[in-house]
Amino acid sequence: MKKRILSAVLVSGVTLGTAAVTVNADDFDTQIAAQDAVISNLTSEQAAAQSQVDAIQTQVSSLQSQQAELEAQNAQLEAESQKLSEEIQVLSSKIVARNQTLKNQARNAQKNVSATSYINTILNSKSVSDAINRVQAIREVVAANKKMLDEQEADKAAIEQKQAENQEAINTVAANKATIEQNQAALATQQAELEAAQLNLSAQLATAEDERANLVAQKEAAEQAAAEAAAAQAAAEAQAAAEAQAQAESVAQAQAAVQNNTATTDTTTDTSAEQPAATTP
């Protein structure tokens, strides 16, 4: 009887232990499912972060291209400005030289080119052809002066135009430089954002990997515990079955012995009862 109670207690204890392990395994499954959801969310966040990194990198590349174009434009404008300055200097020199020539010719014209001078030229001529030549010479001087004045005005207008173009080029260069400085500031800010995004991405990746490794370890531990519990339960059940079998065999043997003893006692009693009847005279 004691052996039967002991076997029952042993089996029930193993069963309770197995149930506890099963509960723990279920808890781990729940935790694993929760961790899977967390990892899925992190994966989505990582994809979004990578998209942001790509967008920032695209903006950085665009700013770099714009900056290179502006720098090239500035170099061209500065070269044009230098050329315009040289042309302005040449035109200014021509104007100064013409001014002196015009002053000299103006003084001569005051003396020679007048109605009286035309008359005197004709009267003092030796012949008609000489008079014509002298008048033609005066006309050529007047025409040359007019041409020089026209060139002077044209050069002055050209100087004004080139100065305006030069100033426009200078203004454009200044505006481009300001834009470049702004772009550089924006580029520095975006590069900092890019680095921060990359660091955040790396941290998220590391966190996801650690959580995944922890999840796998927990799952393996739960599976190992469940396997050990199942093995222990099987061993306990086998031991309980063996003990129950042994107990049953022992009970059967005891019952057989009791029956044998009872049969022997009955036989002896019957024999004793029959012997007195045989000795009666």
Domains belonging to the chain, first-starting first, are 2-248 (1.10.287)
Question: What's the pTM?
Answer: 0.46
CB atoms within 10 A of CB 14: 19
Which residues in 196-206 are b (16+ Cβ under 10 Å) and which e? Answer: ebbeebeeeee
Tell the burial category of 32 from Cβ atoms under 10 Å away from its Cβ (0-12, 13-18, 19+): middle
pLDDT in tens, 52-90: 778 878 877 887 888 888 888 888 888 888 888 888 888
Name the amino acid, one letter, at 21.
V
Q: Around Cβ 109, how many Cβ atoms within 10 Å?
A: 16
pLDDT in tens, 95-108: 888 778 777 766 66
Q: What are the angstrom distances between the C-alpha of 261 and each of 254, 266, 267, 268?
A: 10, 9, 10, 11
Instruction: Give the tokens for residue 142.
Output: 């007047």
When mean pLDDT is compared across 83-92, 161-170, 193-202, 267-276, the lowest value belongs to 267-276
